Amino acid sequence: MFGKLKQFALKKVLQSQMKDAPPEQQQMILEMVEKDPALFEKIAKEMQEELKKNGNNQMSAAMKVLPKYQKEIMSVMSPEMKEQMVKMQMGAQGKFNPNGSIRR
């Protein structure tokens, strides 16, 4: 019983944290967390430790922790998710000017 309750609570927390992310990205992340919750729990704990060290700089903590788990994260992704990720990255490349400003 508590397993389902824990999953539901985790899903709600993730949804509230990702409210500004595109729906397809939200769905992809939720699916990965459902496939291997232990991996993402380990990542979250490590990021929390890093946040305490860095003074709550989330981007810095993510950049330090996530590369360690890149192989595990990729193994959780389905081929469709990997393809979607490539498409998202390709779309983002066209949104920036060479000087780093955002195209409109």
Task: Give per-residue pLDDT as tens, 23-71.
Answer: 888 888 888 988 998 898 899 899 999 988 878 788 888 889 999 999 9
Measured in whole angstroms, how far is the alpha carbon of residue 75 from the centre of its chain?
Answer: 14
Residue 85, pLDDT above cutoff 90 = no
Task: Kindly state the tokens that stand for 68.
Answer: 């360690």
DSSP letters spanning 42-60: HHHHHHHHHHHHHTS-HHH
Give 73's pLDDT tier (boundaries 50, 70, 90). very high
Residues with Cβ < 8 Å from 94, sequence gap 6 or more? 103
- What are the domain boundaries of the chain? 22-76
Structure-model confidence comparison of residues 42 and 91, the more confident one: 42
**AA letter at 18:** M
On the question of pLDDT at 1 being above 60, the answer is: no
Q: pTM above the 0.95 mark?
A: no
